[in-house]
Copies of this chain bind each other. A is one copy, B any other.
Amino acid sequence: MNRCNHDSETHHCVHNEHGRLHSKACITLVPIFNHLDDDKLEEIMRAIKTAHFDKGEIIYRAGQQSNSLYIVSKGKIRIYRLSESGKEQLLRILKPGDFTGELALFRQSVHESYAEAMADTDVCMINRDDLQKFLLKYPTIALQVLAEFSNRLDESEKQAARFATERVETRIALYLAECVEDQGGSLSISLPMSRKDMASYLGTTPETISRKLADLEAQGYIRQVSGRKIQIQDLDGLLIL
């Protein structure tokens, strides 16, 4: 399964011509670019390559040189870190339109995290030099990237502050609140990940997730419909735990 040695991902299923088909759909998804006019989009699309990764494949790993920005056009990507002692923490899950690989792109450095395809996924890739060129040529893109980074930094600091100060039950409750979608009147959730990933994301264990969800249900805040389906019974209550 270790077919991904250095650079393997850039050799893997890269289509340039055929990519042109996908890239438009892909790139217009991306907040960073979608303010641009067609000419500029066209220009950027010429620089884009696409690649496919099978479920379970590693797209990049910590320590590897970073060469491009990856934009998800289909599928899902798990971004995670390994801490000093080797334990894994799930940072986020990318959906179509999200991008990754930026961290290492703006410093002369290497990836700090791992990216793994959670399903068969297609990505659009822009290499470092082309991206820098576009950022200098069209500074509004840089402003969009700055805005995106700001959001992500805010997210990350918020998450860190929660780890530092909140109990597990509270972190779970806050996470549930973030997942809420209004389904015809009632507030419901469909969790985007397994208990194991949720535990990794929230800095706990699957067992504790199970127990705390059961507690929240017993206290009447939520109702567990099925494994990943949850109904919120008392959102305000959840938020003041």
Contacts and interface: CB of A to CB of B under 8 A. Distances in A.
29 contacts: A81-B157, A81-B158, A82-B161, A83-B162, A83-B166, A84-B162, A85-B170, A87-B166, A88-B165, A89-B165, A102-B150, A103-B150, A106-B147, A106-B150, A107-B147, A112-B157, A112-B158, A113-B157, A132-B143, A135-B142, A135-B143, A149-B149, A149-B150, A156-B157, A160-B160, A160-B163, A163-B164, A164-B200, A165-B203
A146 B157 contact: no
A106 B147 CA distance: 5
Interface in A151-181: 151-154, 156-166, 170, 174
Contacts of A143: 106, 132, 135-136, 142
B83 A161 contact: yes
Instruction: Determine chain A's interface SS by DSSP, over half rule.
Output: helix
A174 B164 CA distance: 16
In the complex this chain forms, how many copies of it are found?
2
Nearest to A167: B85
Interface in A96-133: 102-107, 112-113, 132
